Structure 1
Amino acid sequence: MRRVHPEFAYQARELAEQIEGVLGDPPDRKNYAAMTQALVSEYAKGGGIEDLNMMAFALVDVIEFHDPKALLADAEDFEFGDPARVFGAASCAGAEAKKMLEAIEENHPDLGRQAIITAFLHKHPRMWDDDDTSLDQLAQGDEGDDVDDEENTATEEFTRIFDQEGEQ
């Protein structure tokens, strides 16, 4: 397991929720296919929305990954990385999907790098580990040093200042 940048972990979770939302309940595969095809077409023309999740959504079903180690290594830094290495680690089958990937590399190399890594992390969740920021994890190792002691407690006189009923 390899740690990835927390923003990549967040984006991978967001992509999963976006896919689930477009599919709906019960899943509408025709709607999903129409949505992804529209995105692929827009990005292939050199247009498309400059949005990480939309780009990852367009890529996720048509992209193939050839160098997972390179992608995981680049996933450690969200802002700075090597777009050429990431684009070299992936490819798309099909004429329009290939054209889309080329257009993204030409027009949005940094955002495309992030989208490819996000799609990779979404498709391969067992290859990476997210930082656990749950309250249980954050409390682990806490020795209870925030327990009140007599020195730091408010006196009765002080608390009466704020006691509305005590004034009456």
Structure 2
Amino acid sequence: MRKVHPEFAYQSRELAAQIDGILGDPPDRKNYQRMLDALMSEYASGGGIEDLNMMAFALVDVIEFSDPKTILADADDYEYGDPARVFAAASCPDGVAAEMFAALEENHPDLGRQAIITAFLHKHPRLWDDDDVSLDQLAEGDDGDDGDDEDSGVSDDFAQMFDQEGEK
């Protein structure tokens, strides 16, 4: 298991929620495919929404990874990774998907890099580990209030200024 940048973990979870939302309940595969085709067409033409999750959504079903270790290694840094290295570690098959991939590399290299990593993490959840930020984990080792109530540094006169039921 490898730790990834918390933002990539978050974006991977967001992508999963987006896919579930577009599929719907019960799953509407036709609607899902129409959305995917529209996004791929937009990005292939050099346009499209500059949105990480939209790009990852357009890539997730068509992308292939030739060097997963490189992509996973680049998932450590959300902001300053190497787009050329990540694009070289992945590809899309011929047709609109390949055109989209080339257009993303040319027009949106940094955001495209993040989208590729997000799609990879979504497709391979067992290869990485997310930081546990649950309340139970955060509270582990916490002995409670670390302050000393006796030495709060607030005088009685100052505290009484805010006392609603103080002397009138």
Q: What is the letter of the counterpart of residue 3 of structure 2?
A: R
Counterpart residue number, 2:29: 29
TM-score, length of structure 1 as denominator length: 0.89
**Partners of 1:142 and 1:149 in 2: CA distance:** 17
**Partners of 2:33 and 2:167 in 1: CA distance:** 69
Counterpart residue number, 1:128: 128
Deviation at 1:95, TM superposition (A): 1.2
Gaps of 5+ in 2: none
Counterpart residue number, 2:84: 84
SS of 2:76's partner is coil
CA deviation digits over 1:137-163, x for unaligned, max 9? 111111224366444498998877655
Counterpart residue number, 2:73: 73
Once the two structures are superposed, the pairs formed by residues 41-80 of structure 1 within 5 Å of their partners are: 41-80=41-80
Counterpart residue number, 1:105: 105
**Partners of 1:148 and 1:28 in 2: CA distance:** 59
SS of 1:131's partner is coil
Deviation at 1:66, TM superposition (A): 1.2
Of 136-145 and 40-49, the range deviating more from structure 2? 136-145
**Partners of 2:51 and 2:107 in 1: CA distance:** 13
Q: What is the letter of the counterpart of residue 16 of structure 1?
A: A
CA deviation digits over 1:13-49, x for unaligned, max 9? 1111111111111111110010001001111111111
CA deviation digits over 1:47-71, x for unaligned, max 9? 1111111000000000011111100
**Partners of 2:125 and 2:153 in 1: CA distance:** 48
Gaps of 5+ in 1: none
CA deviation digits over 1:109-167, x for unaligned, max 9? 11110000000001111111111112111111112243664444989988776554566
**Partners of 2:147 and 2:134 in 1: CA distance:** 21
Residues 156 and 26 of structure 1, relative CA distance in 2, 3 Å threshold: farther
Q: What is the letter of the counterpart of residue 18 of structure 2?
A: Q
Once the two structures are superposed, the pairs formed by residues 143-162 of structure 1 within 5 Å of their partners are: 143-146=143-146, 149-152=149-152, 162=162
**Partners of 1:10 and 1:162 in 2: CA distance:** 42
Residues 167 and 20 of structure 1, relative CA distance in 2, 3 Å threshold: farther
**Partners of 1:125 and 1:67 in 2: CA distance:** 16
Counterpart residue number, 1:11: 11
